């Protein structure tokens, strides 16, 4: 029992040390994340916690096999409404055990209630992702980008930025329980050519939805089917559409078989 308590205390201490890089609003936001029920799991994982360039938020970095060496592959994950990057890490970590993969989770919710200014815009998210992946030594074409719910609704624009005007990191994009809003400003920016001419052309996607999603027309199976159609209209390739009738919002990670299916495809097809 003493040994277990010591290990838990050590995990929290190391995470607190990582947090010392955070000041001001980023530190306050991290304190909010600490109140999450998932945080004890995060403490045991001992991630790096990096401040964003504007000092408003943070990113978590975790290597599934541990150590400081750069994994061959990375996953970048964007959480949902009022979510936390730390929760994203806790949710993904069991699916990544034993794999040579690193996980970069972005705290893109800034803690407020007004959706207009409480989240980073796609360009701001990509700025932080780009800089972090450069520091981590990630190579173009070796990253899987995952967006969940509101994160998925913004993933289309972020993927367009990467493919159209960015460094082309993303070999695979995963839209999980978050459809395309045709009137949503980031989506309109894609169609308007803000991120380049047909920036999604040639990008590779997996869509995922649950049959018990409370918003089926937006985020459930009907909504994600429409998202897949729209992606193909933009010139993207949808390699798989996972439809799980037994799960709801977040079916991709709620059912380990779905997560394994996506990860196996990503790692098998990415050099």
* pLDDT digit string, tens, across residues 149-197: 999 999 999 999 999 999 999 999 999 999 999 999 999 999 999 999 9
Q: What pLDDT score was predicted for residue 4?
A: 45
- Contact assessment for residue 161 and residue 91, using Cβ atoms and an 8 Å cutoff: no
Q: What pLDDT score was predicted for residue 20?
A: 53
- Contact assessment for residue 162 and residue 133, using Cβ atoms and an 8 Å cutoff: no
Full set of structural domains in the chain with CATH? 2-269 (3.40.50.1820)
Q: Is 92 exposed, middle or buried (0-12, 13-18, 19+ CB in 10 A)?
A: buried
pLDDT at residue 148 greater than cutoff 50 = yes
* pLDDT digit string, tens, across residues 1-44: 444 444 444 444 455 545 558 999 999 999 999 999 999 999 99
Share the mean pLDDT of the chain: 93
Element (H, E) at 22: none
3-state secondary structure of 259: helix
- Could you tell me whether strands 170-176 and 237-244 are parallel, antiparallel, or unpaired per DSSP bridges? unpaired
> Crossing angle for the helix pair 85-96 and 24-34, nearest 10 degrees?
60
Q: What pLDDT score was predicted for residue 13?
A: 45
Q: Which two tokens stand for residue 28?
A: 């306050």
Element (H, E) at 187: helix 185-191
3-state helix, strand, coil in the chain (%, to 5): 45, 20, 40
Q: What pLDDT score was predicted for residue 17?
A: 42
* pLDDT digit string, tens, across residues 39-76: 999 999 999 999 999 999 999 999 998 876 789 999 99
Of the candidates 84, 85, 83, 31, the residue with the CA atom closest to the CA atom of residue 62: 85
Q: Which two tokens stand for residue 84?
A: 């936390």
Of the candidates 186, 166, 170, the residue with the CA atom closest to the CA atom of residue 178: 186
Of the candidates 75, 96, 87, the residue with the CA atom closest to the CA atom of residue 40: 87
């Amino acid at each position: 029992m003493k040994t277990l308590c010591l290990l838990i205390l050590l995990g929290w201490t190391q995470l607190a040390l990582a947090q010392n890089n955070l000041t001001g609003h980023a530190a306050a936001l991290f304190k909010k994340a600490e109140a999450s029920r998932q945080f004890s799991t995060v403490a045991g994982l001992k991630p790096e916690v990096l401040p964003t360039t504007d000092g408003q938020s943070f990113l978590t970095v975790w290597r599934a096999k541990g150590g400081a060496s750069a994994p061959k592959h990375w996953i970048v994950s964007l959480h949902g409404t009022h979510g936390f990057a730390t929760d994203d890490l806790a949710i993904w970590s069991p699916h990544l055990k034993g794999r040579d993969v690193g996980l970069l989770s972005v705290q893109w919710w800034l803690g407020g209630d007004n959706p207009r200014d409480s989240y980073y815009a796609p360009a701001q998210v990509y700025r932080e992702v780009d800089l972090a992946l450069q520091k981590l030594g990630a190579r173009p074409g070796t990253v899987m980008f995952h967006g969940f719910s509101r994160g998925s609704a913004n993933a289309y624009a972020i993927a367009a930025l990467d493919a159209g005007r960015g460094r082309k990191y993303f070999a695979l994009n995963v839209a999980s329980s978050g459809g395309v809003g045709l009137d949503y400003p980031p989506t309109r920016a894609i169609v308007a050519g803000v991120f380049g001419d047909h920036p999604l052309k040639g990008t590779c996607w997996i869509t995922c939805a649950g049959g018990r999603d409370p918003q089926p027309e937006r985020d459930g199976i009907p909504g994600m089917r429409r998202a897949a159609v729209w992606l193909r209209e933009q010139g993207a390739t949808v390699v798989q559409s996972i439809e799980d009738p037994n799960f709801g919002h977040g079916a991709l990670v709620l059912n380990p078989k779905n997560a394994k299916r996506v990860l196996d495809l990503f790692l098998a097809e990415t050099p």
